[in-house]
Amino acid sequence: MKEIRLQPKPAQSPHPPVWIGANAPKAVERAARLGCHFLGGGTSEAQETYDAALRRHGRDPKDYHAAQLRWAYAAPSHDQAWDEAQDHLHYMLSWYGRWLAEAKDFPGAEQFSQLPPAAELREHPERLLASPMIGTPEEIGQEIERFTREVRTTHLVLGMHLPGLDPAKSQRSMELFAKEVMPHFR
């Protein structure tokens, strides 16, 4: 492998930062052991595991980025947001739940493979994989504030287009988010 060259040369020295996405304890531990930045699935448990593993390996968590992935869909009303997103969210989470259950290395995968009907997802969004933030811009902003107080987050990664959703609806949601939520976090 020593005869491989990368062109053009990376701007960062000695190399670009490496991020590892993980949630299973072994993968989270590996990210810390290797000194990589962390992309978590939005759970405090995984983030706490990563930070503790960094310390065990003689690293200061303040020196490492912690990105958190969350799904978001905004609309003028709470009910409109859920009505537009629920079927697409259900489809996506059903597949992720199946894959995670098959992998047998994702804590709590069983609960994600047995979702309630789509119309009932809004009753307990915090119990869903990556705790989707579906609602008004104000509700999403409040959830981001709550979440970032509880989970170390240096970068927030938002999934904002759900599978099968009309792209025009996704665009309206993103524009609403950009106009009404983002200004509060600058």
> What region does 162 belong to: left with phi over 0, alpha with psi -120 to 50, or beta?
beta
84 within a domain of the structure (yes/no): yes
End-of-domain residue from the set 36, 64, 92: 64
For residue 53, is it within any domain?
A: yes
Same domain for 47 and 72? Answer: no
Regarding whether 132 and 54 lie in a shared domain, the answer is no
Instruction: For residues 52 and 72, state if they share a domain.
Output: no
Q: Is residue 9 part of a domain?
A: no
What is the span of the domain harbouring residue 142?
67-185
Q: What is the pTM of this model?
A: 0.86
DSSP letters spanning 96-156: HHHHHHHHT-STTHHHHHSPPPGGGGGG-GGGSTT--EEE-HHHHHHHHHHHHHHS--SEE
Q: Is residue 85 located within the same domain as residue 53?
A: no
Q: How far apart are CA 171 and CA 68, in angstroms?
A: 22
| Residues facing 68 on adjacent strands | 40, 156
Task: Judge if 107 and 164 occupy the same domain.
Answer: yes
- The answer to whether 126 and 112 have CB atoms below 8 angstroms apart is no
12 domain residue, yes or no: no
Q: What is the pLDDT along the chain (186 residues), one digit of tens a residue?
A: 678 887 888 787 877 889 999 988 899 999 999 999 999 988 888 999 999 999 999 999 999 999 999 999 999 999 999 999 999 999 998 888 888 888 877 766 777 777 889 999 999 877 777 789 999 999 999 999 999 999 999 999 999 999 999 999 999 999 999 999 999 987
**Quick check: is 114 in a domain?**
yes
**Whose CA is closest to 136, among 90, 168, 181, 170?**
181
Q: What stretches of the chain adopt beta strand conformation (E)?
A: 19-21, 37-40, 66-74, 133-135, 155-159
User: What are 107's two structure tokens?
Assistant: 């804590």
User: Residue 125 has what pLDDT?
Assistant: 76
- Report the alpha-carbon distance of residue 134 to residue 73 in Å, rounded: 5
> Does a structural domain hold residue 155?
yes
Q: State whether 147 and 101 are in the same domain.
A: yes
14 lies in some domain: no
pLDDT of 3 reads 84
Phi, psi of 133 (to 5 degrees): -105, 100
Residues 51 and 71 reside in one and the same domain: no
Tokens of 133: 């933030």
The reported pLDDT for the residue numbered 107 is 67
Residues 53 and 71 in one domain: no
Q: How does DSSP classify residue 36?
A: -
Which of these three, 5, 31, 64, is where a domain ends? Answer: 64
Task: Please indicate, yes or no, whether residues 26 and 79 belong to a single structural domain of this protein.
Answer: no
My answer on whether 58 and 42 are in the same domain is yes
Between CA 139 and CA 165 the distance in angstroms is 21
Residues 87 and 117 grouped into a single domain:
yes
